[in-house]
Chain A
Amino acid sequence: MNRVFSLAVAAAVLSLATVGFAAGVDVGEKAPEFKDLPTADGKKLSMSDLSDSKAIVVCFTCNNCPVAVAYQDRFIDFAKQYKDKGVSFVAINVNRTEDLQKMKTRAEEAGFNFPYAFDASQTTAKEYGATVTPHLYVLDKNREVVYIGSFDDAQNNPKQHFVKEVVDSVLADKKPEVQGKKAFGCGIQWKR
């Protein structure tokens, strides 16, 4: 009988632990460090490499999701527009069905002007709490998360540009008006 009870307690503790784990990071919290993620151009990417950046946009994405594909050019434009302002844009592929070779092809074909890293273990995605592709996180100069959600408000003809607005606020040392929006995209293909 005691054994049943112990099992029940263990199950309860385990489920609580999972809640904390699955929740990921929140706005106002320190961004989880990512380290030595292999990139499409054969390098490694760590958050510490970006220590000079005034803001970092972390974009969990993939090759396959049509939403991610539809946003590619917007990401490229953003990286181009904000590079000289000291902002880093990094894309992290999280899907279990993809690999570095396919990523390399995509990065070359699409002309990615930002690092395209592979989170093969999905650890970084879990630490951040990413759920879809693309799922965006904006980190300020102290590497606190200041925004979580979608890049803008619509796949076609967007009118509100959330990530840009937030980054502009960070650069101006202001508290961003928007802190979070629901992410819009394809559910991440998790390992089973």
Chain B
Amino acid sequence: MVKISQLGAPRRWLIGLFVLSAMGLGAGCSETPQAVDSGVVEPVDTGSGQTSSTAETASADTAASAAAGEITLETVDVEGYQQVLDQHKGKVVFVDFWATWCTPCMENFPHTVHVSRAFPPEQVAVISVSFDDPESKDAALAFLQKQEARFTHLMSEYGAGVESMEKFNIDGGVPHYKIYDREGNLVKSLSPGPELDVTVELLDAEVRKALEQ
């Protein structure tokens, strides 16, 4: 490997510029811990609380939230998902993959609700995709209504299992986020990891970056 110090000054600067620009491009991805603002939004410690209990609590509010209408949950396969993406060509699309069985997903869901409100709907479309089994559909819908999440909600027809992970190409489990640019190209995939806390600031920054492309 060529050592940087062995290169002449002009080339050193070229590399320096390259590194700096690469850092800019990569900011926020899991390989650049510098970009990760450590936990401004700390997930709530739910202790031994099971996810289902949250869903049940949400169920109690279903009637009240249903009055508000609008929030629905449509079951789709990957083709159906792609059709929804296609409908939003010309906008940046932000997708949150989640499930009622996933505590961190529900803790992080308000971030997605925030994104849906932080950007004009004509510029950024927000979609959620639930990996719940059909029998948990009501609980998922109740949760979305409780969150007052007024955007497009889909549910994987492959249910709670590895097939959903494979079909939607999810590495690193859920929650998982995908961001598509205005042409519909996938520009970002991220899951929280040991070096990556997915904060609302990070998601905001990633959407902004996709808008600037």
CB distance from A123 to the nearest CB of B (A): 10
Q: Is the CB of A186 closer than 8 A to any CB of chain B?
A: yes
Q: Which residues of B contact A81 (CB under 8 A)?
A: none
**Given contacts A9-B4, A155-B133, are A66 and B33 in contact (CB under 8 A)?**
no
Q: Is the CB of A189 closer than 8 A to any CB of chain B?
A: yes
Q: Which residues of B contact A158 (CB under 8 A)?
A: 161
Interface size on B, residues (CB 8 A): 52
Tell me if B165 and A184 are in contact (CB < 8 A): yes
Interface residues of B in 89-114 (CB under 8 A from A): 101-105
Q: Which residues of A contact B34 (CB under 8 A)?
A: 11, 14-15
Which interface class (under 10, 10 to 19, 20 to 34, 35 or more) fits A?
A: 35 or more
**Given contacts A66-B52, A154-B160, are A184 and B173 in contact (CB under 8 A)?**
yes
Roughly how many angstroms separate A135 CA and B194 CA in the complex, as a whole number? 15
**Given contacts A64-B48, A66-B101, A187-B191, are A11 and B174 in contact (CB under 8 A)?**
no
Q: Is the CB of A61 closer than 8 A to any CB of chain B?
A: no
Interface centre among B13, B46, B161, B166 (most CB of A within 10 A): B161
Tell me if A9 and B163 are in contact (CB < 8 A): no
Tell me if B165 and A190 are in contact (CB < 8 A): no
Interface residues of A in 44-85 (CB under 8 A from B): 63-67, 69-70
B-facing mask of A6-22, CB < 8 A → 1, else 0? Answer: 00110110111011011
Tell me if A14 and B23 are in contact (CB < 8 A): no
Closest Cβ neighbor of B100 among chain A residues? A66
Q: Which residues of A contact B4 (CB under 8 A)?
A: 9
Q: Which residues of A contact B172 (CB under 8 A)?
A: 131-132, 187
Tell me if B19 and A9 are in contact (CB < 8 A): yes
Interface of A is mostly: mixed
Closest Cβ neighbor of B174 among chain A residues? A187
Q: Is the CB of B162 closer than 8 A to any CB of chain A?
A: yes
Q: Is the CB of B26 closer than 8 A to any CB of chain A?
A: yes
Tell me if A102 and B159 are in contact (CB < 8 A): no
**Given contacts A153-B163, A155-B160, are A22 and B170 in contact (CB under 8 A)?**
no
Interface centre among B26, B104, B191 (most CB of A within 10 A): B104
Q: Which residues of A contact B174 (CB under 8 A)?
A: 132, 186-187
**Given contacts A11-B19, A12-B19, A187-B102, are A181 and B161 in contact (CB under 8 A)?**
no
Tell me if B19 and A154 are in contact (CB < 8 A): no
Cross-interface CB contact of A65 among B13, B23, B101, B175, cutoff 8 Å: B101
A-facing mask of B30-45, CB < 8 A → 1, else 0? Answer: 1111100011001101
Tell me if A14 and B19 are in contact (CB < 8 A): no
Closest Cβ neighbor of B164 among chain A residues? A184
CB distance from A1 to the nearest CB of B (A): 9
Q: Is the CB of B20 closer than 8 A to any CB of chain A?
A: yes
Q: Is the CB of A141 closer than 8 A to any CB of chain B?
A: no
Tell me if A186 and B173 are in contact (CB < 8 A): yes
Q: Which residues of A contact B20 (CB under 8 A)?
A: 8
Tell me if B31 and A19 are in contact (CB < 8 A): yes
Roughly how many angstroms separate A184 CA and B165 CA in the complex, as a whole number? 7
Tell me if A63 and B194 are in contact (CB < 8 A): no
CB distance from A108 to the nearest CB of B (A): 15
Tell me if B33 and A64 are in contact (CB < 8 A): no
> Chain B: residues with CB nearer than 8 A to chain A?
4, 12-13, 16, 19-20, 22-23, 26, 30-34, 38-39, 42-43, 45-52, 101-105, 133, 159-166, 170-175, 191-195, 197
If A65-B102, A154-B159, A186-B173 are given as contacts, then 6 extra A-B residue pairs at C-beta distance below 8 Å, sorted by A number, are A15-B23, A149-B162, A155-B159, A155-B160, A186-B104, A192-B38
